[in-house]
Amino acid sequence: MRPADVLPHRDPFLFVSEVVSVEPGRAASGRWHLTGDEQFFAGHFPGRPTLPGVLMLESLAQLGGIVVLADERFSGKLPLFGGVDRARFRRQVLPGETLELQVTVSRLSARGGSGHGHAHVGGKTACEADLLFVIVDRD
Protein backbone atom coordinates (compact mmCIF):
# COMPACT_ATOMS: atom_id res chain seq x y z
CA MET A 1 0.00 0.00 0.00
CA ARG A 2 1.31 3.44 -0.94
CA PRO A 3 0.61 6.23 1.58
CA ALA A 4 -0.78 8.50 -1.16
CA ASP A 5 -3.32 5.80 -2.06
CA VAL A 6 -4.89 6.19 1.39
CA LEU A 7 -4.06 9.66 2.69
CA PRO A 8 -5.22 12.95 1.17
CA HIS A 9 -1.78 14.47 1.94
CA ARG A 10 0.58 15.29 -0.92
CA ASP A 11 4.09 16.67 -1.24
CA PRO A 12 5.44 18.71 0.35
CA PHE A 13 3.28 17.61 3.30
CA LEU A 14 3.32 13.81 2.98
CA PHE A 15 5.61 12.48 5.71
CA VAL A 16 5.22 8.72 5.29
CA SER A 17 7.36 7.26 2.48
CA GLU A 18 6.19 3.68 2.78
CA VAL A 19 3.78 1.51 4.73
CA VAL A 20 5.43 -1.69 5.97
CA SER A 21 2.35 -3.23 7.57
CA VAL A 22 -1.18 -2.22 8.43
CA GLU A 23 -3.85 -3.84 10.52
CA PRO A 24 -6.95 -1.75 9.69
CA GLY A 25 -8.36 0.05 12.72
CA ARG A 26 -5.60 -1.30 14.98
CA ALA A 27 -1.97 -0.66 14.06
CA ALA A 28 0.58 0.11 11.37
CA SER A 29 4.28 0.47 10.81
CA GLY A 30 5.95 2.57 8.17
CA ARG A 31 8.98 4.61 7.25
CA TRP A 32 9.85 8.16 6.37
CA HIS A 33 13.03 8.28 4.31
CA LEU A 34 14.70 11.66 4.75
CA THR A 35 16.89 12.49 1.78
CA GLY A 36 18.32 15.71 3.18
CA ASP A 37 16.85 17.67 0.26
CA GLU A 38 13.68 18.56 2.20
CA GLN A 39 13.29 22.35 2.40
CA PHE A 40 12.88 22.50 6.17
CA PHE A 41 16.42 21.23 6.72
CA ALA A 42 17.83 24.45 5.20
CA GLY A 43 16.29 26.56 7.95
CA HIS A 44 16.19 24.10 10.87
CA PHE A 45 19.04 24.66 11.62
CA PRO A 46 21.58 26.18 9.21
CA GLY A 47 24.87 24.35 9.70
CA ARG A 48 23.20 21.65 11.82
CA PRO A 49 20.11 20.38 9.98
CA THR A 50 17.65 18.58 12.25
CA LEU A 51 14.17 17.19 11.60
CA PRO A 52 11.68 19.41 13.48
CA GLY A 53 9.94 17.53 16.29
CA VAL A 54 6.54 18.73 15.18
CA LEU A 55 7.09 17.00 11.83
CA MET A 56 7.93 13.75 13.63
CA LEU A 57 4.55 14.06 15.37
CA GLU A 58 2.86 14.78 12.05
CA SER A 59 4.44 11.69 10.46
CA LEU A 60 3.07 9.57 13.31
CA ALA A 61 -0.36 11.19 12.91
CA GLN A 62 -0.30 10.48 9.18
CA LEU A 63 0.50 6.82 9.83
CA GLY A 64 -2.37 6.82 12.34
CA GLY A 65 -4.57 8.22 9.59
CA ILE A 66 -3.62 5.24 7.44
CA VAL A 67 -4.66 2.89 10.26
CA VAL A 68 -8.09 4.56 10.41
CA LEU A 69 -8.65 4.98 6.67
CA ALA A 70 -7.64 1.38 5.93
CA ASP A 71 -10.70 0.34 7.96
CA GLU A 72 -13.63 0.21 5.51
CA ARG A 73 -15.95 1.70 8.16
CA PHE A 74 -14.18 5.04 7.64
CA SER A 75 -14.25 5.22 3.85
CA GLY A 76 -14.87 8.82 2.81
CA LYS A 77 -13.90 10.16 6.23
CA LEU A 78 -10.97 12.28 7.37
CA PRO A 79 -9.15 11.77 10.69
CA LEU A 80 -7.91 15.08 12.12
CA PHE A 81 -5.53 15.80 14.99
CA GLY A 82 -7.47 16.28 18.21
CA GLY A 83 -4.48 16.54 20.53
CA VAL A 84 -1.11 15.25 21.59
CA ASP A 85 -0.24 14.12 25.11
CA ARG A 86 3.04 13.06 26.68
CA ALA A 87 5.15 13.88 23.62
CA ARG A 88 8.84 13.22 24.20
CA PHE A 89 11.76 13.81 21.88
CA ARG A 90 14.77 11.66 22.67
CA ARG A 91 17.04 11.81 19.64
CA GLN A 92 17.80 14.18 16.80
CA VAL A 93 16.90 12.92 13.33
CA LEU A 94 19.36 13.99 10.65
CA PRO A 95 19.32 14.27 6.85
CA GLY A 96 19.74 10.90 5.15
CA GLU A 97 18.27 8.91 8.04
CA THR A 98 15.14 6.79 7.94
CA LEU A 99 12.53 7.36 10.62
CA GLU A 100 10.84 4.07 11.52
CA LEU A 101 7.22 4.69 12.54
CA GLN A 102 4.80 2.62 14.60
CA VAL A 103 1.25 3.53 15.64
CA THR A 104 -1.17 1.50 17.72
CA VAL A 105 -4.79 2.64 18.02
CA SER A 106 -6.22 1.91 21.45
CA ARG A 107 -9.69 3.41 21.07
CA LEU A 108 -11.67 3.92 17.87
CA SER A 109 -15.29 5.00 17.44
CA ALA A 110 -17.36 6.66 14.74
CA ARG A 111 -16.38 10.10 16.13
CA GLY A 112 -12.70 9.67 16.96
CA GLY A 113 -10.13 7.79 18.92
CA SER A 114 -6.71 7.64 20.47
CA GLY A 115 -3.47 5.79 20.08
CA HIS A 116 0.24 5.77 20.71
CA GLY A 117 2.99 6.56 18.24
CA HIS A 118 6.66 5.68 18.40
CA ALA A 119 9.37 6.83 15.99
CA HIS A 120 12.93 5.54 16.04
CA VAL A 121 16.14 5.51 14.05
CA GLY A 122 18.43 2.51 14.21
CA GLY A 123 16.52 1.10 17.17
CA LYS A 124 16.88 4.32 19.21
CA THR A 125 13.75 6.24 20.13
CA ALA A 126 13.50 9.63 18.45
CA CYS A 127 9.94 10.54 19.48
CA GLU A 128 6.90 9.05 21.14
CA ALA A 129 3.49 10.46 21.99
CA ASP A 130 -0.13 9.70 22.71
CA LEU A 131 -2.29 10.91 19.81
CA LEU A 132 -5.95 11.97 19.89
CA PHE A 133 -8.01 12.37 16.75
CA VAL A 134 -11.50 13.21 15.57
CA ILE A 135 -13.15 11.75 12.47
CA VAL A 136 -15.07 14.06 10.14
CA ASP A 137 -16.64 13.86 6.68
CA ARG A 138 -14.31 14.86 3.83
CA ASP A 139 -16.88 17.17 2.28
pLDDT string in tens for the chain (139-residue length): 899 999 999 999 999 999 999 999 999 999 999 999 999 999 999 999 999 999 999 999 999 999 999 999 998 999 999 999 999 999 999 999 999 999 999 999 999 999 999 999 999 999 999 999 999 998 7
- Residue 1, pLDDT score: 86
Enumerate domains of the chain plus CATH numbers.
3-137 (3.10.129.10)
- Residue 39, pLDDT score: 94
β pairing state of 27-33 and 18-23: antiparallel
- Residue 5, pLDDT score: 94
- In contact, 24 and 70? CB cutoff 8 Å: yes
Mapped onto helix, strand or coil, the DSSP state of residue 66 is: helix
> Looking at 9, 44, 116, 118, which residue is catalytic?
44
Task: Answer yes or no: 44 catalytic.
Answer: yes
What pTM, to 2 d.p., does this model score?
A: 0.97
